[in-house]
Structure formats: C-alpha cells, structure tokens
Amino acid sequence: QRALESLQAAWWSWPKAHVKDLEEILRAHLQEDVFRRRFKEASADMDSPADKAQVFLKLCSDLQDRSISSLLDEQNGVVDWLTIALKVNTTITTGMPKSPPNYSPTSCMVNYFHRIANGCNQSDPIPPKNTVDDATVKQAVDTHGAFDWDGIAKKLSGDY
C-alpha cells in the first residue's frame, strides 16, 4: 500500500517554474563538475597563466551549449543530488512570501528523470489511481512478500 501511495505523492506535483529551476541548476552544476575535471587535467603541466587562461576560455566555449544528457554521460551518470536539492530549495525560497516546499534529493532525481529527461510535459496529469491495478499489486505483494520486487514484477507482467 505504501508503494502505491508514493506514486500519488505530492513530491510528484512540482510547479512548472520549479521544474525549470531544477533543469537549469542541474545543467549548471554538471557544467561546473565537468569544467573542474577537464581544467585540472588540461592544465596539470602548465605553469603559464596565459596558457591556463586559454584552456579556461576553450573549456567555457566547449561546455556552454552542452545538453544535460551529454554532461551526464561525461560524468558517467554521477550526480550529487543532495547538492542539487539544496540549490533548488535555496533558489525557490527567494522572494516567496509563504513557506516554500522543501524538495528532497530523491524528489529532484525523480522529477529530473520523469519530467525533464523523458520529456514528460509538466501539465500531463498524474494518472488516477486504478483500484483494479492496486488490487493486483496487493495480491502480488501478498503472494511474494513486500520485498520480493522481482517476483512481484514478474507476476504483474504476466511472466508467471
């Protein structure tokens, strides 16, 4: 039951502006990480500040228009979601008169992969709960136990 409720949780319903903030913050954060790593590698043997400045400008130019997916690929999919959540929460609290939402790292990750990376439109409604599906999942959980998600998935996909 808890797993089913989480699919309808409030953290899924982000305002469009917050999703846009998440996208911009994630892209900037990945650009910074890639820049630091590349700059360190490229300038390791350089002593001249002029040479380092040229490397700096070239890297800035190379990373300026990179997509999030290409930056993620270069980082091997590694993202510090805790830092992303802190930046998102700090950004959205600025100028908000009432208490702002406090998005978790997991919420940021889920919203990135489901809303931004998959191109899911923010205005797409969350599908309503389906009691037949809920009953089927509950029966599978009763049969396999709450922690045998492979068995549950196989039962739900009809592999049994």
Residue 31, pLDDT score: 93
Provide long-range contacts, Cβ within 8 A and 24+ apart, for 85-93: 87/25, 87/29, 88/18, 88/21, 88/22, 88/25, 91/21, 91/25, 92/17, 92/18, 92/21
Residue 25, pLDDT score: 94
105, 25 contact by CB (below 8 A): no
Averaged pLDDT of the chain: 79
DSSP 12: G
Residue 147, number of CB atoms within 10 A of its CB:
9
Residue 132, pLDDT score: 46
Question: For the chain, which ranges sit under pLDDT 70?
Answer: 1-12, 94-100, 119-133, 158-160
pLDDT digits (tens, 9 = 90+) for 21-67: 999 999 999 999 999 999 999 988 888 899 999 999 999 889 888 88
30, 104 contact by CB (below 8 A): no
63, 39 contact by CB (below 8 A): no
Give the span between the Cα atoms of 101 and 98, in whole angstroms.
Answer: 10
Give the span between the Cα atoms of 141 and 145, in whole angstroms.
Answer: 5
Residue 79, pLDDT score: 93
Residue 99, pLDDT score: 65
Residue 158, pLDDT score: 65
Q: Smallest Cα–Cα separation from 30: which of 96, 117, 89?
A: 117
